[in-house]
Amino acid sequence: MHVDGTEKKWVILSFLMAFAMMGILTAYAINYNIRPPSNVETVDSNALHLTKEFAEDNLGLKVLADGTVTVTMVAARYGFYPQNLKVPSDTSIKFRLASADVLHGVHTAGTNMNTMVVPGYVSELTTTFPHVGKFPMFCNEYCGLGHDYMWSRLIVVPKDQFTLPAPQGGAQ
Amino acid sequence: MTYKTTRYNINFSSLKSPFKKSLQFALVSLALLGANNAFSAASSNVVWNSETRALIKNADIEKGKEEAKICDGCHGKDGTAELEDNFPSLAGQLAEATYKQMMDYKDNTRGHGIMQNFANILSKESIANISVYYSKQALPTTKGEEPTAAAIKLAKLGDGDRLIPPCAACHGDKGQGAIVDVPALAGQNPSYFITAMQRFKSGTRANDIYNRMRLISSSLTDQEIDELANYYAFIGTPEEE
């Protein structure tokens, strides 16, 4: 098959550009420590309200025996529960989220708290909030007719004004 | 280039060393054990798994029609309740919604002396039959007055400042209900609507998974609840000329 010389040059150039961009993305991802959340932990989303961890009364902020500050949350059409979440500033907080129905996402505006909440899996991320204030927490994966209205509130309180609950599993 | 620590630093803890991972697992398990002690009854025990869905799918409408006769006394013939009574109409209600409420009565996650007695004498299959029978009837006819602008706004747009999503987001833009078990509200008896919302508000009814209706109802004023009751009664099936 005859390929014109100029066309051949353009084909080679396009391939080189594509490979160069892939290379740049890979280098960027490695150097800036960007990786997909890989907490592969399954949960039965149908019966989420009957699980121990994601039971209605177990949601919210708590301190584990080792001192890890954990927030257990549920994304369900159309809201995040607990609806008003208070957390201390400058504290490493581990979020554990699960969906009770369809695919959701959670993003807290002005922070890097952002993850997908896939039904059947527990999403986990750890972050620190350096700024005090009220932040809207909203769904960023289309989940149905009420998607636009799916948002709740994160309140970051200065660390010195926040009393953490007693660690669980430790001395009462 | 070195890894730049920004103020917004996410660590995906699952990517740590295997030892840390198992330690983490042990701690989480320990925490779960701790949480176990404080674990109280769920707001509902109904799970929409394939088994429950099959029960609705395979329900017998003819049997349901016969079995539903015991409901006539309060819920009216074919499921349209009398206005002056505080009973809900069941006509046109989603089968899943009726089924869930009956199962909640059965295991006392929704309390009501009379309804619990009925739920206890009926089998799961009979409840499914009755629920599907009612779901095939038309929604109750329109009643009440022209809805207020405030009610229409709440139903269609909600109130962002109070974190109230619009009713229509879950209950459908015509109040027809939605998957899986979000009840239809169109044409509902307003006095029942008010009772249900006030019970959610006071927490005497708590079979809404993850507080959903308790949160919304506690953010609404009594007047707003009354106006919404009228709005949903009004958007029932139009009267035939």
Domain CATH code at residue A53: 2.60.40.420
Chain A window 4-23: which residues touch B at a Cβ cutoff of 8 Å?
none
Q: Which of B11, B33, B210 is facing A81, going by the closest CB pair?
A: B210
Domain co-membership, A81 together with A2: no
Residues A53 and A114 in one domain: yes
Interchain CB contact of B50 with A (< 8 Å): no
CB contact under 8 A, B10 and A31: no
Chain A residue closest in CA terms to B159: A149
Phi-psi region of A42 (alpha: psi -120 to 50; beta: other; left: phi over 0): beta
Q: Average the pLDDT over each of A33-47, B61-75, B185-199 and give the range with the smallest value.
A: A33-47
Which pLDDT does position B109 carry in this prediction?
Answer: 92
Q: Global pTM?
A: 0.78
Q: Which amino acid is at A146?
A: G
- Lowest mean pLDDT, pick from A38-47, A68-77, B121-130: A38-47
Mean pLDDT (whole number) for A110-122: 91
Write the pLDDT tens digit of every residue in A59-74: 999 998 888 899 999 9
Residues A93, A137, single domain; the answer is: yes
Q: Are residues A14 and A92 in the same domain?
A: no
Give the tens place of pLDDT for each residue, B40-74: 578 899 999 999 999 999 999 999 999 999 999 89
A40 in a structural domain: no
Say if residue A134 is in the same domain as residue A88: yes
Q: Establish how many alpha carbons lie within 13 A of residue B113's alpha carbon, considering only the half-sphere containing its beta carbon.
A: 0
B12, B40, B162, B173: which to substitute to probe chain A, counting the most A Cβ within 10 Å?
Answer: B12
The domain tally of chain A equals: 2
Structural domain contains residue A119: yes
ipTM score assigned to the predicted complex: 0.74
Residue A70 contacts B where some CB pair is shorter than 8 Å: yes
| Interface contacts A/B by beta carbons within 8 Å | 138
Range of the domain at A80: 45-168
Q: Is the residue at A124 inside a domain?
A: yes
- Asked if pLDDT for residue B7 goes beyond 70, the answer is no
The answer to whether B219 contacts chain A (CB < 8 Å) is no
CB-CB: which of A62, A64, A78 is closest to B170? A78
3-state SS of B103-134 is HHHHCCCCCCHHHHHHHHHCCHHHHHHHHHHH
A18 and A90 fall within a common domain = no
Q: Tell me: do A93 and A24 sit in the same domain.
A: no
Checking A72-75 for CB contacts under 8 A at 24+ apart, the result is A72/A96, A72/A97, A73/A97, A73/A98, A73/A106, A74/A48, A74/A98, A74/A99, A74/A100, A74/B210, A75/A99, A75/A100, A75/A104, A75/A106, A75/A117, A75/A139, A75/A150
Q: How far apart are CA B203 and CA B205, in angstroms?
A: 5
Closest-CA residue in chain B for A145? B169
Q: What tens digit of pLDDT does each residue of B65-111 get?
A: 999 999 998 999 889 888 777 899 999 999 999 999 999 999 999 99
